[in-house]
Amino acid sequence: PYYVGINQNLYLQASLHSSDPLLKLFLDTCVASPTPHNFTAGSYTIIENGCVKDPTYAEYSSPHGHIVRFRFNAFQFIQSNPEVYLQCELVVCRAYDYSSRCYQGCVHRSKREAGS
């Protein structure tokens, strides 16, 4: 566990351990939940499909493409849950492959239309 006070910045770093220097990491989605087993009901989305949802989120530059650094303000779920769990999805791409997901940034996915 990592302890941080409410409204303090929480700094995170994800890194890819590989011998291939031409790989790049991209943070696609990051969701917080009051429980470690359910990241859908009652969860809070920080970033989704590369689109920032939390106004306190900030990404930091990294000297290497295989490292992603970011931060957001710590918060507490309603009903005073003492713990918050994070689940983040990252994408690994070939560096300099500008057609890859890593270089697309925020992607707005359209919702499916319900048929009659």
Give per-residue pLDDT as tens, 81-90.
Answer: 778 889 999 9
Would you place residue 37 in the very low, low, confident or very high pLDDT band (cuts 50, 70, 90)?
confident
pTM beyond 0.85: the answer is: no
Residue ranges in 1-116 assigned as alpha helix (H): none
First-to-last alpha carbon distance for the chain, in angstroms, is: 48
Query: CB 24: neighbour CB atoms within 10 A?
Result: 21
What pLDDT is recorded for position 116?
45
Average pLDDT rounded to a whole number, residues 12-25: 92
Q: Which fold has domain 8-95?
A: Immunoglobulin-like (2.60.40)
Would you place residue 21 in the very low, low, confident or very high pLDDT band (cuts 50, 70, 90)?
confident
Q: What is the pLDDT of residues 41-69, one digit of tens each?
A: 888 999 999 999 999 999 999 888 899 99
Domain boundaries, given as residue ranges, for the chain: 8-95
> What separation in angstroms does the CA of 26 have from each of 33, 54, 64, 82, 91?
21, 17, 12, 29, 5
Closest CA to 10 of 65, 75, 76, 83: 75
Distance CA 89, CA 68 (A): 12
Distance CA 4, CA 72 (A): 11
